[in-house]
Amino acid sequence: MSQNTLPSGINDLLLLAERIAQGLETYGPWLGITQIPAGEFGRIFDELGKAETAWSAAMSAKRYSQTRMAAADEALDAWLEKARLVMLLARGAKWSQRWIETGFTHRGRNVPKDIERRITLARRVVIFLALHPTFGVPFADVTAACGRSIYERMIQARAARDVAVTDCMSKKRQRDAAESVLRRTMRQVILILGASIMPADPRWLAFGLNQPVPGSRRTRHVHGRNFAGALAEPIPLPAQTQPDCQHTAAA
């Protein structure tokens, strides 16, 4: 293939960037590539590697926090169901105003599906059990102490999940920014090489790149482009030797 298109996947991109870094280290000084020194390219490459690692760790932390929150929510839901059955025995199956003090203020007396409402209900049930400990069922863990422990665990798990999600989003933005910088720098290196060496030069391969097909649209575009606005400084090229006109005329 004549085109040197950057990979879309991050792992393949890092592999190619590593090859380009090695090429700059080996051939950069000989080719006079001063716009992007090997050390600077290596720093940009390392930044993306670190950002990718940090984002992967943040994603793992987010998944773990979500698992913990799901387990805490399941435990809270199960405890509220048991508490509801206990209140049925205490207040009767028929709805009355006496149900309100237990925390089940709705006539349906169902456990809410919304997490925040479940936590609120658990708090009310715990208050009722704390004021009326005789209604508790210790062998079923339907007590004020057990209920408080369960809903506090849910609150902590949700807070940890929120922190993990926020951190993951931040790490993702940092990773995307580092990837954008590396991609832009890699494209600049490809353009510089296109102006520094011929399409058939085997040093393209040393940079992990394809040799452009001579005469292709891409090759003409690269070699005919003015890099003054795109690069930090002009590329030093060897001066061409001019023929001795006077000697030729005399001959």
- Domain ranges across the chain: 10-223
- CA atoms of 159 and 161, how far apart (whole Å): 5
- The whole-number pLDDT of residue 222 equals 38
- The whole-number pLDDT of residue 161 equals 97
- CA atoms of 107 and 119, how far apart (whole Å): 18
Can you read off the two tokens belonging to residue 73?
């929510």
* pLDDT-based confidence at residue 155 (cuts at 50, 70, 90): very high
C-alpha angle 149-152-154 in degrees, rounded to nearest 5: 110
- CA atoms of 37 and 232, how far apart (whole Å): 11
- The whole-number pLDDT of residue 214 equals 64
- CA atoms of 20 and 57, how far apart (whole Å): 27
Assess contact for 38 and 207: CB atoms under 8 A. Answer: no
Q: What is the pLDDT of residues 87-100, one digit of tens each?
A: 887 777 776 677 77
- The whole-number pLDDT of residue 215 equals 58
Q: What is the pLDDT of residues 206-250, one digit of tens each?
A: 999 998 876 554 443 333 333 333 333 333 434 444 444 343 333
* pLDDT-based confidence at residue 3 (cuts at 50, 70, 90): confident
**DSSP letter string, 40-104:** HHHHHHHHHHHHHHHHHHHHHHHHHHHHHHHHHHHHHHHHHHHHHHHHHHHH-SS--GGGGGGT-
Assess contact for 58 and 168: CB atoms under 8 A. Answer: yes
Between 20-29, 131-140, 224-233, the lowest mean confidence (pLDDT) is in 224-233
Between 98-112, 193-207, 233-247, the lowest mean confidence (pLDDT) is in 233-247
Location of structure tokens 């298109």 = 5
Residues in the chain: 251
* pLDDT-based confidence at residue 4 (cuts at 50, 70, 90): confident
In angstroms, the Cα distances linking 97 to 55, 91, 128, 236 are 53, 10, 14, 90
Between 103-117, 128-142, 158-172, 183-197, the lowest mean confidence (pLDDT) is in 103-117
pLDDT of residue 7 exceeding 80, the answer is yes
In angstroms, the Cα distances linking 167 to 57, 71, 77, 144 are 10, 21, 28, 35
Highest mean pLDDT among 135-139, 154-158, 222-226: 154-158
pLDDT of residue 50 exceeding 70, the answer is yes
H helix runs in the chain, sequence order: 10-31, 38-91, 115-131, 144-196, 203-206, 217-223, 245-250
Can you read off the two tokens belonging to residue 129?
């059990």
- The whole-number pLDDT of residue 251 equals 33
- Give the mean model confidence (pLDDT) for residues 10-15: 94
54: CB partners within 8 A, 6+ apart: 171, 174, 175
Burial class of residue 79 in the structure, from the number of CB atoms within 10 Å of its CB (0-12 exposed, 13-18 middle, 19+ buried)? buried
